[in-house]
Each structure stands twice: as structure tokens, then as C-alpha cells.
Chain A
Amino acid sequence: MTHEHLISALYVFALAAFLGYQVISRVPPLLHTPLMSATNAISGISLVGSIVTAGARYNTVSTILGFIAVVCSTTNVVGGFVITDRMLKMFKRKEIGPKKD
């Protein structure tokens, strides 16, 4: 990796860190569990690395490792988003309206 690449990657890392801190600290404890499953699903983006490894036919070892990585990452992405959606659907606020006697 060249020095230019490293520096620009570090810029991105630093900005992501600050941004991440700001965004995440606004998530209420109520939603901490969906937060964990959502961030898990998002970090499944490593799928894009394993897809190339599994398909580029570099060598047998890499292909097999890449394939396993694709399975693992896809499980996280699909499972993570499905679970997060499922959890978020459950959060309902109290129905306001004619109720009490």
C-alpha cells in the first residue's frame, strides 16, 4: 500500500470514528440491541472482499477460504438485517385514543 493510500485511508478512518461517535451516542438504550445487530449486519460488507477472493481463482486455498468467508459474511448480512427489522417492528408506542372508562 502506498503512502498516499495510507494517508487517505487514515483520513477516512478518523472521520468515520468521529462521525460514528456522534451518531451512535444518539441511539437510546431502548434500541441498543437492534444497534448491535445492525452494526453486525453492516460490517458484513467485508463480503465484498471475500466475493473477489472466492471468484478470482488465485489458488485453491484462497478460493476455499474466500468461499467460507462469503458464507459467513452473507449469513451476517441477511441474518443481521432480518433480525433488526424484526426487532424494530416490535417497538410500538402506546395507542393514544378512546380507551379508558
Chain B
Amino acid sequence: MQTYFIEISYLLASILFILGLKGLSHPETAKRGMHLAEFGMLMAIIGTLLHHEIVTYTWIITGLAIGSVVGLAMGLWVPMTAMPQRTALSHAFGAFAAALVGISEFYKVSVHGEHIDRITMSALGFEVMLGALTTTGSLLAFAKLQGMVRGTPMTYKGQNIFNMSLLAVTVGIFLYLIFVPTSMPLFFTMAGLAFVFGLLLVMPIGSADMPVVMSLLNSYAGLASAATGFVLNNKVLIIAGTLDGFSGFILSILMCRAMNRSITNVLFGAFGSAVTTAGGGDQQGTMREVALEDVGVQLAYANKVVFVPGYGLATAQAQHAVRELADVLEKRGVTVKYGIHPVAGRMPGHMNVLLAEANVPYSSLYELEQINPEFPTTDVAMVIGANDVVNPDARDNPTSPIAGMPILEVDRSKSVVVLKRGQGKGFSGLENPLFFKPVTGMLYGDAKDSLTRLVQAVQHA
């Protein structure tokens, strides 16, 4: 009877999870969908607490309490600008939990001298390997995002060969363990190697490629949970893990397509570490600097203005300032839209969440395919802290390292204003010919500061 109740709660949870994710197809249905998923999770947890194998509740209650406090704190206090970091941390936690469950399963069975059949051992191996490498990989991603560690790719000669060899050794041990599942030291070696591999995998990835890596790690964390489901023969785990795994996987593919690079290129290509000789080169011409008051007048008398945000918007914490500017412009009857490139920012959907936090209505946010046709009729396109996503070389220069990448074609607007802190290059290390075009004016300075002063300038124009 008891197990029946638990199984029913798992079934209910599975259904509610799927309904919850289905709700995410639209902002209006998303909130209710999430409440369904939360309820499902609660049911599953309560059901599990009645499991007959549980002897003592002290550790469980303590663990639940600590986890809830930490989770609540993280959930409530993390600012939207730090969303990528928090996401990386949560991947690490999730993967670590999966790895630990796997290790403890192995330990429990081995200590009793029981035999682990090949199927269970395979699932266990996957679970621990994936879990381990995702833990360390995500922690390194967190460090890179937080600026604790260099954002530029860390490479060394023969790196790919070393990584591949390490992976081969780890997988080799894994395969051996399937047939000889009793060797504990070997098992722990495999786990240890996997932990190391995670670090090595993420080391050569540059900050600009973070959206892809984040999605991949999301996927791996999910797959590790799915593997746990196979080991414990728990269907709700399989379902939830697979949903998570596929979600991350689909996002990675979308991100790669948006950068027009293959996934192998992202993982092993160390983009941005060295400026390649093809494309790039030195730019002829000068960048035209514009005065703030002139930009203010331009904006005030425009018909249509499109803001193009990039990661610089997040670092400058300028999302509220840009919304104030948009408000002031809209009061004057100017049409204001935002063009969001899929890989702008450090994780999928980063810009959308940032702007939503600043109370920008989501109906003003436009995707690449929607906004590109509008640029020729746009009076002012304002680029804020974005670089590669508006680089025309991707479209015009077949030898450029970013050739073929879909971009926001701001250079087709009647006028472009680029807000930039200084004369530096984007994360790809490429010069951006947009800055040298006659249609473009450069407004130097801190974005938040410039935008706030523009609000004044527009009001007095």
C-alpha cells in the first residue's frame, strides 16, 4: 500500500512536470505551469518520506532545512545580472548530487560484497562520470563568469590530445568496471578523473561561448539525473532528467546555430584566444565620435528607435537607465523596440530577463528574424555594450572568423549610435567595421551614465 502511494505520487509529479514545462510556451501560462510543477515536486518528496527503507529522519530533515535556506537565499537575493553565475552553480549542485548518489550506491553494494550487474553498472558509471565532470565544469564556468578566473580561453599545446587521452582512460576504466564491478579503487579513480576532466573541458572556452557551454552543462546535469533514474529504477527521475537533458541539448544547438559554429568548434576550437590572420586585419578609416546632446536631439525627433543590448548592458547595470530613456522617448511618440540576438549576454535569454527586470514589457522585445527587416526604416539604432552580434563582417567578409553568423543588421539603419566604454575589441578580439562606417557615431563613456544623461538631453530637446 505504501509503495503504491509513493509510486502514484511519482506518476503525478511526472505529469505535472510536463504540464509545467508546457506552460513555458507563453509568459501568461508560465506562472501557473510552474505552480503545477512545484506541487508535483512537493507530492513526490512527501511520498518519498514514507519510504519503508528510511530508518532515521534526522539527516533528512537537517538536509532539507539547510538546502531550503540556502536555496531561498539564492533565489531571492541574486540580482538578474548574476543569473548566469547562479545557473552555473545550480548545475554544479544538481550534478554533484547525482554523482554522490551514484558513488554511495556503488559503495553500499560493494561493501556488502554484492555483485552489480552490467546494466546497473553502466548506468552507474554514466551517472558518476557525467555528474562529476559537470560539477567541476560548472564550478569553473561560475568562476569565469564571476571574473574570478580569466574569461579568455586557457589553452596550451596538445591540449585537445591530452583531454581526449584523459577521456579515453576514464571511459576505459568505466568499460572495465562493467565487467569487473568490484574494484573500489578503480571506481574512485574513474570518478576522480571525471572530476578533473570537467575542469579541462571548460578551461579553453571563452566568455563569448558561455551560452553554449551553459546549455550543455544544463543538459549533462539532466542526463546525470536520468542515469540515476536508471540505476534506482525510478521513472520520475528518468523523465525529469531526460526533460532537463533535452532542454539543454536543444538550447545548445540553438546557440550554436546562432553563432554559426559547430559544437565541436565551440568545445575544442578555443575561439578568441588568438586573433587569426584571416579576416580581421587593420581597419582603414576612423571612428566618428558624437556628442551626447546631438544624440539626444536625434533620438527626440526620431520616428523609430531600436535598442540593441549586449553583455555590456549587464556589466554597466544600465537596464533601468535604458528603460527610462525608452519611456521618455515613447512619451514623445517615438516607437521604441529592442532587438535581442540569441547569444547576446552570457546565457540564453539573458537580455530578456535583464530588461524584464527593468520593467520593459516583453512585447517590446524582438527576436533577430523579426527586427532585421525593420532596420532600414529605423531612424536610430542604439547599440549598448554589444559588439560581435552587430559586426557586419559576419555577413560581408567570408574570411572572417565569424563569417556566416546571423547578426542584427544595425548598419542598415539610417543612423547608428554605439555606446562603448572605450576603444576595445569584443570578446572575439575582432575589429568591428561597424564602428568605422559613416552611418555610425560612437558615444564613449559608461553606458548607465550616458543613458541617464540622454534622458535629460531628450527632455530638453
Taking beta carbons and an 8 Å cutoff, which residues of A are in contact with B?
1, 3, 5-6, 9, 12-13, 16-17, 19-21, 23-59, 61-63, 65-95, 100
Contacts and interface: CB of A to CB of B under 8 A. Distances in A.
Interface size class of B (residues with CB under 8 A): 35 or more
B24 A34 contact: yes
A48 to B, nearest CB: 4
A14 to B, nearest CB: 9
Contacts, number: 356
Given A1-B120, A40-B87, A45-B13, A30 B240 contact: no
A73 B247 CA distance: 19
Interface stretch (B148-156, B170-178, B226-234, B385-393): B226-234
Given A24-B250, A52-B48, A65-B103, A81 B70 contact: no
B68 A78 contact: yes
Contacts of A47: 45, 48, 97
* 6 interchain residue pairs of minimum CB distance: A74-B67, A82-B75, A78-B71, A70-B63, A32-B349, A79-B71
Nearest to A46: B225
A76 B234 CA distance: 19
A34 B20 CA distance: 12
A51 B60 contact: yes
Nearest to A79: B71
B235 A12 contact: yes
B333 interface: yes
B246 interface: yes
B86 to A, nearest CB: 7
B361 interface: yes
Given A44-B94, A45-B225, A76-B94, A69 B101 contact: yes
B246 A49 contact: no
B357 A90 contact: yes
Contacts of B408: none
B119 interface: yes
Contact of B38 (A3, A31, A39, A81): A81
Contacts of B356: 87, 90-92
B289 interface: no
A34 B25 CA distance: 11
A37 B25 contact: no
Contact of B68 (A9, A63, A74): A74
Contacts of B47: 48
Nearest to A61: B107
Contacts of A50: 63, 97, 100-101
A84 B226 CA distance: 22
Contacts of A62: 104, 107-108
B73 to A, nearest CB: 8
A57 to B, nearest CB: 5
B107 A48 contact: no
A59 B93 contact: no
B48 A48 contact: yes
Given A33-B348, A94-B363, 7 more contacts: A16-B243, A48-B10, A48-B47, A61-B107, A79-B75, A90-B353, A100-B333
B234 A48 contact: yes
Contacts of A26: 22, 25
B63 A31 contact: no
Nearest to B55: A57
Nearest to A96: B363
A90 B117 CA distance: 50
A69 B59 CA distance: 11
Given A1-B117, A93-B363, A63 B59 contact: yes
A22 B57 CA distance: 40
A91 to B, nearest CB: 4
Contacts of B350: 33
Nearest to A54: B59
B18 interface: yes
